[in-house]
Amino acid sequence: MSLQPFLDRLDQLQSDAQNAFDGAADADALEAARVTFLGAKNGQFKDVQKMLGGIEPADKRAAGMRLNDVKQAIHTAFETAQSQLGGGGSSQIEPGFDPSLPGRRPRLGHIHPITQTIDHLTEIMGRMGFEVAEGPEVEDPFHNFVALNIPEDHPARDPLDNFYLATAGTAVDIGEGDALLRSQTSTVQIRVMQERQNSAPGQPIRIISLGRVYRPDAPDATHFPMFHQMEGLFVDEHVTMANLKTVLRVFANNYLGDDVEIRFRPSFFPFTEPSVEVDFLWNGTWIEFGGAGMVDPNVFEAVGYDPEKVSGFAFGLGVERLCMRRHGITDIRDLYSGDLRFLQQF
Ligand code: FA5
């Protein structure tokens, strides 16, 4: 037999085998195709292999090499088809794998108690008509101090009482003075009033803002250098302290229970006049949760509102302290320890 018909037969065999393996719909069909082409007894490859004996001696070497190549190609085509069908039955199971064992449970995530608290506070205040506003954590001195009636020489602006941003010992100026991490969410009052002056002039404002604030306070059971506040701002005509107290009492009763009483203690904040500390009576003890007051006329003027026409109240409550009271947590540091045994209780 001459070489060329033999090579043509090999080509035909390779392409038939490839088509049969590719077309096998399941493991049984693939196995049948394997027997047809690679079967040890009557497989088509064997038949062609037998024809090698009749090849001219001068062509034998070339014919034998091609035969080996085709054999290899058919085996590879079979293995590829087998892996595409998802393994070839029990022979594919890794040694040591016991399919009768129960599956591994994925570890479920958990919403942090402070995030849960933020969601809860948002829901309670939303029922009283307060919508959520947001502001940046990196602030400029205008929003953190100036517009809040805190002048240049005020001790609240002391570098030792704030986290000013600096690189290589030089303050970072973000175009509006030295940037700092906001020390209170009252900054959002300013941003919202500025924005509403443009988008909805003359319309009442009723917002809350919940977010992180930063102060270089030494950590102890009730202080942490990073904590959250809930800021509230209500601006309209004829807003009074009675409205402020009502909103805070309804809030406290919803969040902490009907037996919680509320007390205002005279205090001072540069951006409210009069100003109060807000205490809640709970289990026989008065506890400070935040500050509040009537928006100072200087603040209204700084953002272009006429204090003769509008009035408003504002408050800022510590979110961690609220969460701790509700859940009986005695040390704020537990909230940020990352200890899952603690966090998973909430
Ligand atoms: C303020 O931050 C004012 N901006 C609140 C305010 C808003 C007054 C609007 C008037 C009008 P004060 O510094 O007291 O106030 O902080 C408010 C609350 O934040 C505190 O009562 C306390 O609950 C919480 N707080 C303050 N420092 C820390 C701290 N280091 N760790 C945890 N909570 C803190």
The domain locations on the chain are 3-84, 113-343
Banded model confidence at residue 233, pLDDT cuts 50, 70, 90 = very high
**Rg, the chain, Cα only:** 38
Q: pTM of the full predicted structure?
A: 0.73
CB distance 314 to ligand 1 below 6 Å: yes
DSSP E strands in the chain: the ranges are 131-132, 138-139, 166-167, 170-171, 180-181, 205-214, 226-236, 261-269, 272-282, 285-295, 311-318
Q: In a 3-state reduction of DSSP, which class is residue 219?
A: coil
pLDDT of 130 over the 60 cut: yes
User: 113-343, what's its fold?
Assistant: BirA Bifunctional Protein; domain 2 (3.30.930)
Sheet holding 272-282, edge to edge: 131-132, 205-214, 226-236, 311-318, 285-295, 272-282, 261-269
Ligand 1 centroid to Cα of residue 283, in Å, is 22
Q: Which two tokens stand for residue 34?
A: 């394997």
288 is in an annotated binding site: no
CB distance 322 to ligand 1 below 6 Å: no
Helices first, then strands: H and E counts in the chain = 11, 11
Inter-residue contact 325 to 246 (CB < 8 Å): no
pLDDT of 87 over the 60 cut: no
Backbone angles phi, psi at 258, to 5 degrees: -65, -20
pLDDT of 88 over the 60 cut: no
Which pLDDT score, from 0 to 100, does residue 166 have? 81
Residue of the nearest CA to atom 21 in ligand 1? 290
Q: How far is residue 314's CA from residue 301's CA, in Å, rounded to a whole number?
A: 16
- The residue whose two tokens read 């540091």 is 333
Banded model confidence at residue 93, pLDDT cuts 50, 70, 90 = low
Ligand 1 centroid to Cα of residue 134, in Å, is 18
